[in-house]
Amino acid sequence: MPLTADAKGVYPIAPTPFFDDGRIDTASIDRMMDFYHACGSTGLTVLGQLGEAQKLEHAESLAVASQVIGRAGELPVIVGVSAPGFAAMRALTHEVMARGAAGVMIAPPNTLRTDDQIVNYYRQAVEAIGADVPFVLQDYPLTFSVQMSPGVIKRIVDELPSCVMLKHEDWPGLEKISTLRGFERDGKMRHISILCGNNGLFLDYEMERGADGANTGYCFPDMLCDVVRLNAEGDREAAHDLFDAHLPLLRYEQQPGVGLAVRKYVLMRRGILSSAAQRKPASPMSAQAREEVDHLLARLAKKDPRAANLAK
């Protein structure tokens, strides 16, 4: 089914598993998909910013997306199709949609500076991929250096009906969520799904501001699922207690450069990936960083049994 503005829950950002020699690890993709099913994910995103999509050839990107879609069952799959030019974006979009993707995610190029440039870029992107393809607007100024005000997001949503979701990764960004939901409440903007990134660092209060869930890649996506569920059930303190237990590891994993290495290391320790390898160029963990993560896991195990078998 195509992605809609009613999407809720947790859409993990899937890493791309590699062997140590850089080959794609297809068996780990299947294990990863089975894990996402089991932990309560409501969808997922592949070839995202930390899916190392920029290191894949077009045929590899299509192969990874196709395997994920084929293993996803009823889970909607969003495919990151950001590219320097619209020709590559159009080609990958049409191919993954033909294979059953629910929609695509588009990040802005870092050359955009003015509000009009941002809106015009997404207008042209929709012309390239087709107005019938649901897309996710990725708002991540810390990485892309593109500042999208609530007014700019409103313009994109108003002008482009195929924009059905905002991947919200501004920081600080709580007031932006409140402003956008205020637009909706006042009848000034149609409803869209808002799923949040930034490794889930602010998910506890983002949910209370009106976000619909998480769209990020933390190494315990099952915790994110629990926080979103507890919030929906009205159990505020239980949601915060669980979130707080994971916050030190969340913070450590959010570090620029080393974050993906930490995520893959823990997913390997959890038996989901066979290797923590990244495709080069890569930023591997030092021995001291691994010791620090092991220490964080040991501390987490005192509060969350899911980390108990990982503590060294």
Domain interval for residue 198? 9-233
- What pTM, to 2 d.p., does this model score? 0.97
Cα 200 to Cα 283: distance, rounded to the nearest angstrom:
22
Q: Would you say residue 292 lies in a domain?
A: no
Cα 21 to Cα 3: distance, rounded to the nearest angstrom:
35
Per-residue pLDDT at 311: 58
CA torsion sign for 220, 224, 227, 229 is negative
Q: Would you say residue 256 lies in a domain?
A: no
Q: Would you say residue 213 lies in a domain?
A: yes
Q: Would you say residue 42 lies in a domain?
A: yes
Q: Which residues are CB-contacts of 152 (< 8 A; sequence separation ≥ 6)?
A: 115, 118, 119
Q: Where are the beta strands (DSSP E) in 57-96?
A: 77-80
Q: Would you say residue 293 lies in a domain?
A: no
Token pair, residue 32, equals 């990863």
Q: Would you say residue 306 lies in a domain?
A: no
Answer for the pair 37, 295: CB distance below 8 angstroms, yes or no: no
Answer for the pair 12, 87: CB distance below 8 angstroms, yes or no: no
How confident is the prediction along the chain (312 residues), in pLDDT tens digits per residue? 899 999 999 999 999 999 999 999 999 999 999 999 999 999 999 998 889 999 999 999 999 999 999 999 999 999 999 999 999 999 999 999 999 999 999 999 999 999 999 999 999 999 999 999 999 999 999 999 999 999 999 999 999 999 999 999 999 999 999 999 999 999 999 999 999 999 999 999 999 999 999 999 999 999 999 999 999 999 999 999 999 999 999 999 999 889 999 999 999 999 999 999 999 999 889 999 999 999 999 999 999 999 998 855
Q: Which CATH number does the domain housing residue 146 bear?
A: 3.20.20.70
Q: Would you say residue 184 lies in a domain?
A: yes
Q: Would you say residue 204 lies in a domain?
A: yes
Q: Buried (b) or exposed (e) across 280-291, using 16+ Cβ within 10 A? A: eeeeebeeebbe
Cα 26 to Cα 6: distance, rounded to the nearest angstrom:
31
Cα 71 to Cα 38: distance, rounded to the nearest angstrom:
13
Torsion, Cα 113 114 118 120, to 10 degrees, reads: -130
Answer for the pair 285, 258: CB distance below 8 angstroms, yes or no: yes
Cα 238 to Cα 215: distance, rounded to the nearest angstrom:
21
Answer for the pair 75, 50: CB distance below 8 angstroms, yes or no: no
Count the domains in the chain: 1
Token pair, residue 247, equals 């916050």
What is the residue type of 257? G
Tokens 């409140």 appear where? 178
Cα 187 to Cα 110: distance, rounded to the nearest angstrom:
32
Length of the chain: 312
